[in-house]
Amino acid sequence: MCDPKDPDYQIEELRVQIEYHNYNYHALDSPEITDAEFDRLFAELQRLEALHPHLIVSGSPTQRVGSAPLKKFQEVTHTVPMLSLENAFTDADLAKFDHDICTELKLSKVAYTGEPKLDGLAVSIRYENGDLVQASTRGDGTTGEDITQNVRTIRTVPLRLFGNDWPAVLEVRGEIFMRKKAFNTLNTLIIAQGGKPLANPRNAAAGSLRQLDPTVTAQRPLSFICYGLGIVEEPQEPLPTNHQELIYYLINWGLPISSELSYLKDLEACRAYYQDIGMLRDSLDYPIDGVVFKVNSFAHQAKLGFRSHNPRWAIAYKFPPEEQLTRIEAIEFQVGRTGAITPVAKLRPIQVGGVTVSNATLHNIDEVTRKDIRVGDLVSIYRAGDVIPKIGQVHLEHRPKFSEVTKLPDLCPICGSKILKPEGEAVARCTGGLYCPAQRKETIRHFASRPAMDIEGLGDKLIEQLVAKKLVTAPSELYSLELSQLVNLERMGAKSAANLLTALERSKTTTLARFIYALGIRDVGETTAQALTQQFHDLNSLMHASNEALQNVEGVGLVVAEHIVTFFQQLHNREEITRLLQAGLQWSSTNVPKKIPNMHLEGKIFVLTGTLSRPRSQIKAALEARGAKVSGSVSAKTDYLVAGADSGSKLTKAKALGTKILDESALDLLLKEAQN
Ligand code: IVH
């Protein structure tokens, strides 16, 4: 019946061999054959499958990356919810956990299993009759996302279970993560390609899993470790009766499990395990942030049951955040895409939690001043959970003798324009708006946007290409683009290139207000641009206006006036304006818009709170232009509270007083109405 010459037989034989070697290599880290031999087996399977395409099945090792990119992830409902774990941070927390369990079970001691708590993402993988049919994220515990195509690309995830004694339906639960070495290599590659490095292995794993295109995930070095079960239907053999036994089942089915898993006979053994793994933590190649203890016996687990979000029979005992000492070798000032200047500490490279750290953000100059952080300082670097490395303590006793106070530079390190830091604002900014390469993409995007020059067809992707290929380094250069340059760009046909040129030509006839807005002066929104136009009528007067004169304009306070004056003071910006005018941008003095006639919000008192998407000064200007007042605190006189994310006491107070509360979209609506 089984003729070894049969392609069916040969193909099946090769698949079993390949999966076996795959498992040895990826899950056990102990290959039995050379890479070349493995490649030969794989190539042979590919050859046979190509000859007999009807024999290809989705479980074949050649089919790990099989499908086209998705538009979006589908939802998956977890019949057995994916719960989280209660945390313990101290020995006392752990003792209480054990004490409660012993009391509930009326036992003097209870046996547990200990496993490292992997720092990755929980996943549920469903096998039907031994074949992987679905993989999903945890989501909110009840509904997750279908990431089957991506999980199939992970080498340690079997596409087909080993043996044949598995239940007809078997859901396994585990963690997908990125090994530290793989993470560091990936980041080196990203940096070499000019990309932004990933913050930590956990983010790297999450980002890799959430790719709609499985070919991208396939290139990311992800791993999987299995630690439990979800739904199980129609078992063929009696199911295991404890966690330790379950692990043997999982191993036999070819599922990777943690090599550090231990049986722990009581609380004392748990304590020792926590210490042991803590010592091993740095040398392990996978990121962990604690250990997980589970009551070993399933009968005991069933008796203990669940709370709303976590089982009573398990706990995660977390490690304290890791800290390391290193020196600050330099402090650089980076320029963001909106011109924000961020101080960054360049560190003597150091391993923290297994990840090489050589940079730490210092957020803003005020923070640097407050902590008095200087070049040469010895500092503690820590990573807590999934956050980016931070500077903790500055060890002043080790400060070099002649260290200097860190100062905000006067000029932008990228373009040499003046840096401005308005009173009371934490963020300093480069004023080289139109000129600064760091702000190029953002400047052009803003310039082309609908309320500005309204250049149809000039979207983000196109801007990215134009900037990357250095076809456009400033907005004025948009107007010298040629058809031959455009047609060579990705996703650009002759027709859309011609349309873009027409749109560029059309945009040249504009209004002064649009032009002023398009310049992207900090805090000068559409309303302020209009108000400026009404006051100054022509560009030249605006460019020479004094700070005081500007403050007479509705919505322009001290800070905005300073932004305007400094913007026009920069030679680069003036030169760019000249180039724009030379390119043919024009407006007639007759289309200066009328003053906003309606003061619908006259006398109304607004308070702003929480995180808002635009600078407060901008919202304030828009409100004041419509006759409203903006106050700093909520009282019975307040008419509206504009509440962004994370609003705190002001929101509570406004609620108590019955003040009308607006979110940003409600505010926009109100502003729009007040303008008509
Ligand atoms: S057991 C019903 N074991 O930790 C509880 N979880 O905070 C199921 N995790 O969402 C979890 N390593 O992503 C378990 N050895 C391990 C784990 C582990 C990491 C994660 C898992 C879970 C989270 C809970």
- pLDDT per position as a tens digit, 503-530: 999 999 999 999 999 999 988 999 999 9
Cross-strand bridge partners of residue 641: 607, 661
Structure confidence by residue, pLDDT tens digits, 299-343: 999 999 998 889 999 999 998 877 889 999 999 999 987 889 999
Maximum distance among all Cα pairs of the chain, rounded to whole angstroms: 97
Instruction: Evaluate: CB of 118 within 6 angstroms of ligand 1.
Output: yes
List the beta strands (DSSP E) in 610-655.
629-631, 640-643
Distance (Å, whole) CA 316 – CA 4: 51
What integer pLDDT is reported at residue 385 of this predicted model? Answer: 52
Q: Which atom of ligand 1 is nearest to the CA of 83?
A: 2
First to last CA, the chain: 84
Candidates 119, 121, 101, 104; CA nearest to 270 is: 101
Burial of 39 (0-12, 13-18, 19+ CB in 10 A): exposed
Structure confidence by residue, pLDDT tens digits, 532-576: 999 998 899 999 999 999 998 988 998 899 999 999 998 989 999
* Ligand 1 mutation pick, 80, 85, 259, 264, max ligand atoms within 8 A of CB: 85
Active site residues: 117
Count each helix (H run) and each strand (E run) in the chain, helices first. 24, 22
Q: Read off the pTM.
A: 0.56
Instruction: Evaluate: CB of 178 within 6 angstroms of ligand 1.
Output: no
What is the DSSP code (8-state) at residue 61? G
Distance (Å, whole) CA 285 – CA 308: 34
Structure confidence by residue, pLDDT tens digits, 422-447: 888 888 999 888 788 888 888 999 99
What is the DSSP code (8-state) at residue 590? G
Cross-strand bridge partners of residue 645: 611
Mean pLDDT of 401-420: 93
* Alpha-helical regions (H) of 494-628: 494-507, 512-518, 526-536, 539-543, 547-551, 558-569, 571-582, 616-625
What integer pLDDT is reported at residue 618 of this predicted model? Answer: 79
pLDDT at 417 over 50: yes
CB under 8 Å to 211, separation ≥6 — which residues?
Answer: 150, 217, 220
* Atom 24, ligand 1: residue with shortest CA distance: 84
Of all residues in the chain, what percent carry a pLDDT higher than 70?
96
pLDDT at 4 over 80: no
> 476 versus 386: which is more confidently predicted?
476
* Atom 2, ligand 1: residue with shortest CA distance: 83
* Residue 196: pLDDT band with limits 50, 70, 90: confident
C-beta of residue 408 within 8 angstroms of C-beta of residue 365: yes
Backbone angles phi, psi at 658, to 5 degrees: 75, 20
What integer pLDDT is reported at residue 219 of this predicted model? Answer: 87
Distance (Å, whole) CA 652 – CA 608: 13
Q: How far is CA 84 from the centre of its chain?
A: 22
* Ligand 1 mutation pick, 227, 288, 308, max ligand atoms within 8 A of CB: 227
What integer pLDDT is reported at residue 160 of this predicted model? Answer: 94
* Atom 23, ligand 1: residue with shortest CA distance: 84
**Backbone conformation region of residue 284, classed left if phi is above 0, alpha if psi is from -120 to 50, else beta:** beta
* Residue 589: pLDDT band with limits 50, 70, 90: low
CB under 8 Å to 654, separation ≥6 — which residues?
Answer: 607, 634, 638, 641, 643, 661
Q: Torsion over CA of 83, 139, 252 and 27, rounded to 10 degrees?
A: -120
pLDDT at 593 over 50: no
Q: How many CB atoms lie within 10 A of CB 656?
A: 9
Candidates 135, 150, 124; CA nearest to 66 is: 150
C-beta of residue 230 within 8 angstroms of C-beta of residue 77: no
Distance (Å, whole) CA 260 – CA 253: 19
Residue 518, SS3 per DSSP: helix
Distance (Å, whole) CA 545 – CA 551: 10
Of all residues in the chain, what percent carry a pLDDT higher than 90?
55
- Ligand 1 centre distance from Cα of residue 425 (Å): 42
pLDDT at 76 over 80: yes
Instruction: Evaluate: CB of 84 within 6 angstroms of ligand 1.
Output: yes
Pairing mode of beta strands 340-352, 428-430? antiparallel
Burial of 116 (0-12, 13-18, 19+ CB in 10 A): buried
Structure confidence by residue, pLDDT tens digits, 206-242: 989 988 888 888 889 999 999 999 999 999 888 999 9
* Atom 13, ligand 1: residue with shortest CA distance: 122
What are the tokens at 173?
A: 């639960």
User: Kind and range of the H or E element at 45?
Assistant: helix 35-51
CB under 8 Å to 83, separation ≥6 — which residues?
Answer: 141, 306, 309, 310, 311
Instruction: State the DSSP string of 440-503.
Output: HHHHHHHHHSTTTT--TT--HHHHHHHHHTTS-SSGGGGGG--HHHHHTSTT--HHHHHHHHHH
Backbone angles phi, psi at 639, to 5 degrees: -90, -45
* Residue 102: pLDDT band with limits 50, 70, 90: very high
pLDDT at 597 over 60: no
Candidates 182, 129, 136, 125; CA nearest to 158 is: 125
Distance (Å, whole) CA 266 – CA 668: 61
CB under 8 Å to 484, separation ≥6 — which residues?
Answer: none
Mean pLDDT of 4-9: 84
pLDDT at 66 over 80: no
Amino acid letter for position 422 = P
| Angle ∠(487,338,647) on CA atoms, nearest 5 | 130
* Residue 354: pLDDT band with limits 50, 70, 90: low
Instruction: Evaluate: CB of 256 within 6 angstroms of ligand 1.
Output: no
Instruction: Evaluate: CB of 318 within 6 angstroms of ligand 1.
Output: no
What are the tokens at 328?
A: 């600050």
| Angle ∠(513,516,521) on CA atoms, nearest 5 | 140
Give the range among 134-143, 307-316, 666-675 with minimum mean pLDDT.
666-675
Mean pLDDT of 144-172: 94
- Ligand 1 centre distance from Cα of residue 138 (Å): 11
Candidates 250, 356, 389, 240; CA nearest to 301 is: 240
* Residue 647: pLDDT band with limits 50, 70, 90: confident
* Residue 176: pLDDT band with limits 50, 70, 90: very high
pLDDT at 596 over 60: no
